[in-house]
Amino acid sequence: MVRVIIKRRCRPGREADLEKALLGLRTDAMRRRGYISGETLRSADDPGVWLVVSTWTSPEMWEAWEGSPERRETESIIASLLAEPQEVSIFSFVRRGEASESAHTVDIESLRLSR
């Protein structure tokens, strides 16, 4: 499973257009194989900064969506609404035993088994 975080800085006055485009993008993503969840966040300190966080079953599922024609079309619209290029970061989940004991990821299956 991977979590994709996309940071965007909206051009002033284009927030409603960005929100509409992001909603369309999410609607399309929800129909894609491998999509698990998503949310859109706006910075409390800087309302021009938007984050989209989505979860996918695998990096391959995300890459298939990222390269799809429908996503590329919407991304070109979104790019025109931004003050600077977006930043995309992809994170994988840390499973118990894959990192030091200080890892902050909870293994839900282990919790179920220990009860």
pLDDT in tens, 69-104: 999 999 999 999 999 999 999 999 888 776 554 445
pTM: 0.81
**Contact indicator for 4, 88 with CB cutoff of 8 Å:** yes
Domains and CATH numbers, the chain: 2-114 (3.30.70.100)
Amino acid at 43: S
pLDDT computed for residue 109 by the predictor: 52
Q: Give CA–CA dist 72/92, Å, rounded.
A: 23
pLDDT computed for residue 103 by the predictor: 46
pLDDT computed for residue 96 by the predictor: 76
- Per-residue model confidence as pLDDT tens digits over 25-78: 999 999 999 999 999 999 999 999 999 999 999 999 999 999 999 999 999 999
pLDDT computed for residue 95 by the predictor: 80
- H or E element: which one contains 20? helix 15-30
Cα 85 from chain centroid? 16
pLDDT computed for residue 94 by the predictor: 86
Amino acid at 104: H
pLDDT computed for residue 113 by the predictor: 55
The candidate with the shortest Cα–Cα distance to 42, out of 25, 13, 63, 18, is 18
Q: Give CA–CA dist 62/15, Å, rounded.
A: 26
**Contact indicator for 15, 9 with CB cutoff of 8 Å:** no
Q: For residue 85, what are the contacts with CB-CB under 8 A and spacing of at least 6? A: 79
Whether 110 has a pLDDT exceeding 80, the answer reads: no
